[in-house]
Amino acid sequence: MGVATPTAPAGDVAARATAGFRQWYGAEPAGRWAAPGRVNLIGEHTDYNDGFVLPFALPLHTVVAAAPQDGERWTVCSEHSDAPIEFGAAEADEPGRVTGWAAYVAGVVWALRAAGHAVPGARLAIASDVPLGSGLSSSAALEAAVLAALVDLGGLDLPAERRPRLAQRAENDYVGAPTGIMDQSAAIRCRAGHALFLDCRTESVEHIPFDLDAAGLAVLVIDSRAPHRHADGEYASRRKSCERAAELLGVPALRDVSADHLDEALARLDDHETRRRVRHVVTEDQRVLDTVALLRAGRVRDIGPLLTASHVSMRDDFEITVPEIDTAVEAALAAGAYGARMTGGGFGGCVLALVDADAATTVAAAVTAAYADRGFPPPTHVTVIPAAGAHRLD
Ligand code: GAF
């Protein structure tokens, strides 16, 4: 069994977007824009606590083929839809009016308009290689690609560093998902060969070289194929308990609790569950900083234990893992991975493992065997390298 490595950029998927555009609109697109999915190397559930994250973009893309159309009308089709969906300014201006996958597109139009931009009417055709529902941020990739297309078609003045917040608003306020800023930042601001060290309070970024090839390493991404169990409600409840804890501790956000004074902070909370949630966030922020320090020093292998510690913290303190995910992490570690952890919001999704490049196949086989032992449906896996954020293809 081999492990496939997708390559950038977006060749086939771009052709599919163009084919969709021609099929539904009987015309040529004015351009094509791509945005990637992401994995998060480390820093989970820290973004909405004003903390630190370290995602990198995947060489898996959502591509939007688009052209302007007259008036304030937007028509969108995707390779998974039977027919285009059309909406005008009235629907775009009222969060919730457009539903399903097209809500992410309408949300971007809404967020741009709400920020005072003159959004051009457009026809859009969407194709994607980012798997849906695997925790690799297919929704942020869609938002980022649509945003890039509309900004370029309309000649809007919106620099890349201001785009993630706007895409996040589309997701929070139009679609209604209370996510942080990580996924949109990754889809827009990542750089090939680098991880994105993002301070979610200031939105300042540093591109940290993450050259797996040079180190003889690979990141293996294993899709647990676990059904997302109550993920939306659980995510919102984690977010609420973090906000409540910050209030109780008298700080603007949990980022302001110092890892050096964690025990004192925990002693001020009388609820065990809240203490565990706080401990995860505070120690996870510190693990991001420690990972960045190791990567800056070129010590890529040495980040392994931090990845695994992050997983243990998500499993025991934040309580967001599921049996399939824990099985994948344990099997990868037992097969020689330097570190392994769940990536993304939790309750399903993907695991990433840092492995020697020539061990990727063995580690993947060990995970598959452990799944079979437990009677889980076989996982899928792929090795990935850090890719670029949203960009215009042509
Ligand atoms: C999801 C959210 F969209 C992100 O904002 C982040 O909170 C992540 O879960 C957990 O780190 O992907």
Preceding omega of 227 cis (within 30 degrees of 0)? no
Summarize pLDDT for 136-162 with one digit per residue, the tens: 999 999 999 999 999 999 999 999 999
User: How far is 288 from 33, CA to CA, in rounded Å?
Assistant: 31
User: How far is 207 from 195, CA to CA, in rounded Å?
Assistant: 6
Neighbouring CB atoms inside 10 A of 253's CB total 20
ipTM: 0.99
The whole-number pLDDT of residue 2 equals 44
CA of 110 to the centre of ligand 1 (A): 22
Give the residue-averaged pLDDT of 85-98. Answer: 97
In order of 80, 102, 155, 358, the CA distances from 76 in angstroms are 11, 7, 20, 43
Question: Does the pLDDT of residue 354 top 60, yes or no?
Answer: yes
User: How far is 164 from 174, CA to CA, in rounded Å?
Assistant: 15
The whole-number pLDDT of residue 10 equals 53
Ligand 1 mutation pick, 38, 39, 41, 45, max ligand atoms within 8 A of CB:
45
The whole-number pLDDT of residue 257 equals 98
Closest among 74, 43, 13, 50 to 242, alpha carbons compared: 50
Summarize pLDDT for 178-192 with one digit per residue, the tens: 999 999 999 999 999
Give the residue-averaged pLDDT of 45-71. Answer: 98
In order of 25, 123, 321, the CA distances from 197 in angstroms are 41, 35, 24
pLDDT exceeding 70 applies to what percent of the chain?
A: 97
Question: Does the pLDDT of residue 249 top 80, yes or no?
Answer: yes
Task: Please check whether residue 325 is in contact with residue 351, taking contact to mean a CB–CB distance below 8 angstroms.
Answer: yes
The whole-number pLDDT of residue 229 equals 74
Q: In what order do the strands lie in the sheet with 205-209?
A: 52-53, 194-199, 205-209
Phi and psi at 86, nearest 5°, equal -120, 140
Question: Does the pLDDT of residue 29 top 80, yes or no?
Answer: yes
User: How far is 350 from 380, CA to CA, in rounded Å?
Assistant: 10
User: How far is 30 from 389, CA to CA, in rounded Å?
Assistant: 21
Question: Does the pLDDT of residue 7 top 80, yes or no?
Answer: no
Phi and psi at 107, nearest 5°, equal -60, -40
- 183: Cβ below 6 Å to ligand 1? yes
Task: Please check whether residue 102 is in contact with residue 84, taking contact to mean a CB–CB distance below 8 angstroms.
Answer: no
Closest among 41, 38, 40 to 294, alpha carbons compared: 41
Summarize pLDDT for 113-125 with one digit per residue, the tens: 999 999 999 999 9
- The number of CA neighbours under 13 Å toward the Cβ of 79 is 20
The whole-number pLDDT of residue 294 equals 98
What is the value of pTM for the model shown? 0.97
| Residues annotated within a binding site for Mg(2+) | 139, 171
- 345: Cβ below 6 Å to ligand 1? yes
Domains of the chain listed by start with CATH number: 12-209 (3.30.230.10), 212-384 (3.30.70.890)
Summarize pLDDT for 265-305 with one digit per residue, the tens: 999 999 999 999 999 999 999 999 999 999 999 999 999 99
Task: Please check whether residue 109 is in contact with residue 92, taking contact to mean a CB–CB distance below 8 angstroms.
Answer: yes
Question: Does the pLDDT of residue 42 top 70, yes or no?
Answer: yes
159: CB partners within 8 A, 6+ apart: none
The whole-number pLDDT of residue 147 equals 98
Give the residue-averaged pLDDT of 227-256. Answer: 93
